[in-house]
Amino acid sequence: MPDGIVDRLAQLTLFGDLRWPELEAVAHTFEEEVFGAGQRVLRQGISGGAFYVILEGEAVVVIDGEERSRLGRGDYFGEISALTGGVPVADIRAETLLRCLSLPGPQLEPFLLEHPTVMLRMLQAEARRLRDSNRWQ
């Protein structure tokens, strides 16, 4: 992968604690995927199984037909179904041209065990998401 990908990874919070050689290894572990505007990346209850990190573009999270949130550069998705082996709990749809790095679901757990700082940042983000979803309205 070109150095440009490594530079982009270095700017993302999820990978912020990794040194340059680790970032290069990450860049070679993930595949780059591009989705057109309107294309579904994950389908609620049907298909998924990979972990995605957004490099460029915007995506929409849709649950039961209702838009719940928007994702952009540095955000990630697919981790829950990748870690649990279950089906996605939401549709993820590219709102614009979407460039992502992806990792097949079965590779996510070994990747996180090999990179504990990434696992910690992901755990912190999951805790914030859970807290925010349970706030009294």
Question: What tens digit of pLDDT does each residue of 74-102 get?
Answer: 999 999 999 988 889 899 999 999 999 99
Stronger pLDDT, 87 or 132, i.e. the higher one:
87
Whether 93 and 60 have beta carbons less than 8 Å apart is answered as: yes
pLDDT at 136 over 60: no
Average pLDDT over residues 117-123: 94
Tell the burial category of 77 from Cβ atoms under 10 Å away from its Cβ (0-12, 13-18, 19+): buried
Q: What is the pLDDT of residue 53?
A: 96
Q: How many residues does the chain have?
A: 137
Q: How far is CA 85 from CA 47, 80, 132, 137, in A?
A: 11, 8, 24, 32
HSE-CB for 36 with a 13 A CA cutoff: 0
Read off the tokens for 72.
């952009």
pLDDT of the residue at 130: 82
Q: Does the global pTM surpass 0.85?
A: yes
DSSP 50-114: EEEEEEES-EEEEETTEEEEEE-TT-EE-HHHHHH----SSEEEESS-EEEEEEEHHHHHHHHHH
The DSSP bridge pattern shows strands 31-35 and 59-63 to be: unpaired
pLDDT in tens, 6-29: 998 999 999 989 999 999 999 999
Q: Which fold has domain 3-133?
A: Jelly Rolls (2.60.120)
Per DSSP, 13 falls in state: G
How large a percentage of the chain has pLDDT more than 70? Answer: 94
pLDDT-derived band at 137, boundaries 50, 70, 90: very low
Domain ranges of the chain: 3-133
Q: What is the pLDDT of residues 49-62, one digit of tens each?
A: 899 999 999 999 99
Please provide the average confidence, as pLDDT, over all residues in the chain: 90
